[in-house]
Chain A
Amino acid sequence: MNAITQLGSQFIHTISGLGKTAFMLLYVVIGLPTWRGLTLFSKQLYFIGVLSLPIVLVAALFIGMVLGLQIFNILSRFGATEALGQAVSLSLLRELGPVITGLLFAGRAGSAITAEIGLMKSTEQLSSLELMGVDPLKYVVAPRFWAGLVSMPFLALMFSAVGIWGGYLVGVKWLGLYDGAFWMNMQDAVSFSEDVINGAIKSICFAFVVILIAVYQGYECYPNSEGISRATTRTVVLGSLSILGLDFLLTAIMFGDF
């Protein structure tokens, strides 16, 4: 009986959590369009987007270089090393760019957002806003949500661009591939509407999920050090798993017609 009670309680907890998230989303979506909102939004765009650039770009460079090395190694067995540009750019634009940026984003920005909102809750700053007649959903949550949603596709595109450059450095500058072949094959194979746009759509979907998880976990966490630590962990774990699951779903929809 205890197990059934626990299962029921867990079910009710999950459904109530989803309901709260939906309400939060509603308030956040209608919560931006004021001048003050734009100032807060640009501040968060800097913290969430611009300050994520170093980790995203350094990771992109190394991943592009590793990708270049591995793919060159395989292609050289078939004498098809000219296809390196095509292989590197498609894997980055379609998959690795959005997915790895999403994972890095969940680890760097998502965890920071959860911890910041959680600490604001535990130090009664959110309560204090409420009692000053300022809605924390509009003042604290909405700017972070929108800043995350806007910055992620740009981060993912920059990740792909730097990754391709990393592949170029290894393939052309180090292993001696003809650079005309690298760029020409890439241009022939990559379709702007199918690959670049689909990659951007993926990154927007990932940003939506990660940022929603991050703000919800921060806003609803138990306001003590253990509660904040658990909420931060949940943001990274749930955010990362959601990205990977959603990626399969989106890939099947976007590229599943054989």
Chain B
Amino acid sequence: MQHHIDISAMTFRRGSRAIFDNVDIKITRGKITAIMGPSGTGKTTLLRLIAGQLRPESGSIHVDGDEINQLNRSDLYQLRKRMGVLFQSGALFTDMNVFHNVAFPLKTHTSLSEQTIRQLVLMKLECVGLRGAHNLMPNELSGGMQRRVALARTIALDPDLVMYDEPFAGQDPIAMDVLVKLIKELNQSLGLTSIVVSHDVHEAASIADEIYVLSQGKVLAHGTPSEVMNSTDPAVSQFMHGKFDGPVAFHFDRSDYATDLMSQP
């Protein structure tokens, strides 16, 4: 099967606002796909829809051939064991230290010996450069370090599909370079399917095989990084090259400025 994830004619609303309006997105198996777009365009929501935490109003989302919204609770949890999601906030368990956070999925879903789990955890932490911090509690780490621990936890079970939500946010240049290489290496050596949601156009484009640009509930552009970077569509070009002027509005939907200022509270 070529497509690991197949989203067809999917619509999702929050209240009356359409976050996705009849979109089609295909994520190719074994490739890195970057999802980009202005803030508030629903990139994180897309990850939650793929993971079955949210349900679309219409359309279908197939993950590994299974229609995610048709699965019962137990099958959905089984499917999620083959997925890894890196949250924007890291979402580490605050009552466990770094080591136990990374060991958690291994202890929960496998019957490996304590020694093997210890070796695996230390290997994953070494990958993200935090083996020396394995005894620290999450509140003793910076936001960027917490996300790196969360990344080690996400890949602990070697999932088939990893979804990274803003993996480069808050990272220093060295850590960012290491993460870019790590995501690429994981993808190549383990044959993972990776979805990277990011605002860091150059980092994401440097490792992605395909890019989707989303805006206002639609897919604005889709293609290889060079195709998207060289797109003649003014909205895509504006976003990819970070320009203020263009069809993509910086402001949220709003009424006339002067009228708003002069109106009564």
Residues on A facing B (Cβ under 8 Å):
36, 123-125, 127-128, 130-135
> A131, B94: Cβ atoms under 8 Å?
no
Within 8 A of A (CB), among B35-77: 51, 53, 73, 77
Contact of A130 among B53, B78, B94 (CB under 8 A): B53
Residues of B within 8 A of A135 (CB): 73, 77
When the two chains form their complex, are residues B80 and A123 in contact, meaning their CB atoms are under 8 A apart? no
When distances are taken between beta carbons in the complex, the residues of chain B under 8 Å from A127 are: 53, 87, 91
| Option from A36, A125, A128, A133 in Cβ contact (under 8 Å) with B81 | A133
Partner of A132, one of B53, B78, B94, B105: B105
Evaluate contact between A124 and B87: CB separation under 8 angstroms.
Answer: yes
Q: How far is the CA of A151 from the CA of B125 in the complex (A)?
A: 39
Closest A residue by C-beta to B80: A133
In the complex, A51→B79 CA distance in Å? 39
Residues of B within 8 A of A36 (CB): 108
Q: Dominant SS at the B interface? A: mixed
Given A125-B93, A125-B94, A127-B53, do A134 and B87 touch, yes or no (CB 8 Å)?
no
Q: Which of A36, A128, A132 has the most CB of B within 10 A?
A: A132
CA of A125 to CA of B53, assembled, Å = 14
- Residue of B73, B91, B94, B105 with most chain A CB atoms under a 10 A cut-off: B91
Given A131-B80, A133-B80, A133-B81, A124-B89 contact (CB < 8 Å): yes
> Roughly how many angstroms separate A33 CA and B94 CA in the complex, as a whole number?
25
CA distance A132 to B89 in the complex (A): 16
Known contacts A133-B109, A134-B108; is-contact A128 B91 (Cβ 8 Å)? yes
CA distance A243 to B195 in the complex (A): 50
The interface residues of chain B lying within 8 Å CB-to-CB of A134 are 77, 105, 108
A123 to B80, CA, bound (A): 20
Asked if B83 CB lies within 8 Å of chain A CBs, one says yes
B-side contacts of A125, CB under 8 Å: 91-94
Nearest Cβ distance between residue A185 and chain B, in whole angstroms? 49
- Does B197 sit within 8 A of A, measured CB to CB? no
A145 to B81, alpha carbons, bound, how many Å?
26
Closest residue of chain A to B81 (Cβ to Cβ) is A133
B contacts with A, residue count (CB < 8 A):
21
- Kindly state the separation between the CA atoms of A64 and B262 in the bound complex, as whole angstroms: 67
CB-defined A-B contacts under 8 Å, sample of 25: A123-B91, A123-B94, A124-B87, A125-B91, A125-B94, A127-B53, A127-B87, A128-B93, A130-B53, A130-B77, A131-B84, A131-B85, A132-B80, A132-B81, A132-B104, A132-B108, A132-B109, A133-B77, A133-B78, A133-B81, A133-B105, A133-B109, A134-B77, A134-B108, A135-B77
Is the pair B80, A130 in contact by a Cβ cutoff of 8 Å? yes
Q: Which 9 A-B pairs have the closest CB atoms?
A: A133-B81, A128-B91, A124-B91, A133-B80, A131-B85, A133-B77, A132-B105, A124-B87, A131-B51
Bound form: Cα–Cα A127–B86 in Å = 11
B85 proximity list for chain A (CB < 8 A): 128, 131
Q: A123 with B105: in contact, given A130-B53, A131-B51 (CB under 8 Å)?
A: no
Measured CB to CB, the closest approach of chain B to A131, in angstroms, equals 4
Contact flags (1/0) for B97-113 with A, using CB distance below 8 Å?
00000001100110000
- Kindly state the separation between the CA atoms of A123 and B146 in the bound complex, as whole angstroms: 13
Chain A min CB distance to B123 (Å): 19
| CB contact under 8 A between A131 and B89, given known A36-B108, A123-B94, A125-B94 | no
Given the complex, which residues of A lie within 8 Å of B92, measured CB to CB?
125
- Beyond the given A131-B53, A134-B77, please list 9 additional residue pairs across the A-B interface where CB-CB is below 8 A: A125-B92, A128-B93, A130-B53, A131-B83, A132-B105, A133-B78, A133-B105, A134-B105, A135-B73
Docked CA distance A128–B104 (Å): 11
Is the Cβ of A128 less than 8 Å from the Cβ of B87? yes
| B residues in contact with A123, CB < 8 Å | 89, 91, 94
Give the docked Cα–Cα distance between A36 and B93 (Å): 17
A140 to chain B, nearest CB (A): 10
In the complex, A205→B51 CA distance in Å? Answer: 38
Least CB distance from B167 to A in Å reads 15
Q: Determine the distance from Cα of A130 to Cα of B51 in the docked complex, in whole angstroms.
A: 9
Determine how close the nearest CB of chain A comes to the CB of B135; give it in whole angstroms. Answer: 20
Closest to A126 in B: B91
Contacts of B108 in A (CB 8 A): 36, 132-134
Residues on A with C-beta less than 8 A from B94 are 123, 125
**8 Å CB contacts to A: which residues of B171-208?**
none
B contact residues around A130 at 8 Å (CB): 51, 53, 77, 80
CA distance A120 to B53 in the complex (A): 16
CA distance A200 to B179 in the complex (A): 57
- Shortest distance between the CB of B161 and any CB in chain A (Å): 11
Task: Give A184 to B138 CA distance when docked, in angstroms.
Answer: 58
